[in-house]
């Protein structure tokens, strides 16, 4: 199958999405697209190397929001070039809201809109599914209440990128390699921390509206994508 896989700027369900993308990329031709925020979270959560490995296959392609400018030529091609499936996973509340209200002002929302015109099946895995609390994991950061701003930072000495400048980590360059983990004598480097987020009612309602859009299937977890693809073959 020829598949477009879109990644938006959500940290929740990102690991699970990359794991499934990795699996299906071994059997199907993938065009990966990212929003600006999606590109940033791939870096921040340390998945750039996995993405590079996937893209080593010459049949796979990678297109970013910045490359497409404002006319989004890729989305225009959907009406006359054959794609078998579009997957958006993970999908932020912002992207979900735009899709359900017909707003197409980014590469990914343009692709979502054009999928209907091209009658291409679309799978969306939204992160804000039900009103209430969810648990998600944060990328590494420095606890400023514990950081002593030492003259020589042991965590930065272990960092391949040398981007730990107490009391901050340059998150634009961090790839979550976790070499800094457990290196600070004061336990100021925080890794693998899980927090709870509250899903708003309006975002949960928008997720329900996705099910009413033609050609669109909403799934609760990326792992369900594999079964859906098997059913399509």
User: Taking Cα atoms as reference points, which of 124, 148, 110 lies closest to residue 221?
Assistant: 124
Mean pLDDT of 100-105: 94
**Has residue 74 got a pLDDT over 80?**
no
How confident is the model at residue 1, as a pLDDT?
A: 93
Residues 188-213 pLDDT 10s: 999 999 999 999 999 999 999 999 99
Question: How many C-alpha atoms does 208 have within 13 Å on its Cβ side?
Answer: 8
**Has residue 13 got a pLDDT over 80?**
yes
With H, G, I as helix, E, B as strand and everything else as coil, classify residue 173. coil
Give the predicted TM-score (pTM) of the model: 0.84
A 10 A CB-CB count for 112 gives: 30
**Has residue 70 got a pLDDT over 80?**
no
**Has residue 68 got a pLDDT over 80?**
no
Distances, alpha carbon 140 to alpha carbons 47, 106, 166, in Å: 14, 29, 13
CA distance 168 to 37: 20
Mean pLDDT of 136-164: 94
Domains identified in the chain and CATH numbers? 2-130+200-232 (3.40.50.1950), 139-192 (3.30.70.20)
How confident is the model at residue 116, as a pLDDT?
A: 87
Long-range contacts of 150-157 (CB under 8 A, 24+ apart): 153/184, 154/183, 154/184, 154/185, 155/180, 155/183, 155/184, 155/188, 155/189, 156/180, 157/183
With H, G, I as helix, E, B as strand and everything else as coil, classify residue 128. coil
Mean pLDDT of the chain: 92
């Amino acid at each position: 199958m020829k598949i477009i896989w879109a990644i938006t700027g959500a940290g929740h369900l990102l690991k699970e999405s990359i794991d499934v993308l990795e699996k299906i990329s071994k059997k199907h031709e993938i065009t990966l697209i990212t929003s600006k925020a999606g590109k940033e979270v791939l870096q921040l959560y340390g998945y750039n190397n996995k993405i590079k490995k996937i893209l080593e296959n010459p049949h796979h392609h990678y297109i970013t929001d910045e490359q497409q400018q404002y006319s989004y030529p890729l989305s225009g091609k959907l009406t006359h070039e054959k794609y078998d499936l579009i997957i958006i996973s993970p999908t932020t509340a912002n992207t979900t809201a735009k899709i359900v209200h017909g707003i197409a002002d980014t590469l990914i929302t343009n692709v979502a809109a054009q999928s209907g015109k091209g009658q291409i099946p679309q799978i969306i895995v939204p992160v804000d599914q039900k009103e209430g609390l969810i648990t998600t994991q944060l990328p590494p950061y420095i606890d400023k209440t514990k950081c002593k701003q030492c003259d020589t930072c042991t965590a930065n000495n272990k960092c391949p990128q040398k981007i730990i400048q107490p009391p901050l980590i340059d998150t634009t360059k961090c790839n979550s390699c976790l070499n800094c983990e457990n290196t600070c004598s004061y336990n100021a480097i925080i890794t693998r921390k899980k927090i709870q987020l509250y899903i708003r009612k309006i975002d949960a309602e928008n997720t329900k509206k996705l099910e009413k859009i033609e050609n669109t299937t909403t799934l609760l977890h990326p792992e369900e994508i594999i079964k859906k693809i098997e059913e399509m073959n």
